[in-house]
Amino acid sequence: MRSIYLTNVKLGPILQKLIDGEKKLQDGQIQLDKLNREKDECEKKCSKLQKEAEECLKKKEETQVNLELNKQRLVRANKLLSGLKDEKSRWGEEVVRMAEESKFLVGNCIIAAGMMSYGGPFDST
């Protein structure tokens, strides 16, 4: 009996340390679980932000492509407009010339009709 008592006396502090260690382990496990949940949430946020960043980069690339296309279109439009400026002046001169010629249209038609009626009865023989 005495040996059991001595064993219990020796094992008492050891068992108390075991109980304290298990409590610390349990508290540590709870804290570890909490930190793991926070880590998982952070990883989810990180993956979400990574997807958003990829989408933004893709949109940026598309915008740059559209920007280059629009710059090329602008250059072509400017070339076309400068070419049409020359045509505008030429067309303006042509309108003035046709307006001047339209004053003589009736007289020219009468002369042409007279030539046709004069040359009509004569044949080439």
Give how many domains the chain has, as a whole number: 1
pLDDT digits (tens, 9 = 90+) for 26-84: 999 999 999 999 999 999 999 999 999 999 999 999 999 999 999 999 999 999 888 88
Q: 38-42, 95-99, 115-119, 121-125: which range is least confident on average?
A: 121-125
- 104 domain residue, yes or no: no
- 54 domain residue, yes or no: yes
Task: Please tell me whether residue 125 adopts helix, strand or coil conformation.
Answer: coil
Element holding 26 (H helix, E strand): helix 2-102
- 118 domain residue, yes or no: no
Four-CA torsion 86, 89, 93, 98, nearest 10 degrees: 90
Percent of the chain with pLDDT over 70: 95
Question: d(Cα 2, Cα 86) in Å, to the nearest integer?
Answer: 123
Residue type, 99: A
Q: Kindly state the tokens that stand for 36.
A: 């793991």
Q: What is the pLDDT of residue 122?
A: 67
- 105 domain residue, yes or no: no
Q: What is the pLDDT of residue 124?
A: 63
Q: Kindly state the tokens that stand for 99.
A: 């307006």
DSSP state of 1: -
- 85 domain residue, yes or no: yes
Q: What is the pLDDT of residue 56?
A: 97
Q: Is the dihedral of CA 101, 107, 110, 112 positive or negative?
A: negative
- 73 domain residue, yes or no: yes
Question: d(Cα 116, Cα 120) in Å, to the nearest integer?
Answer: 6
- 122 domain residue, yes or no: no
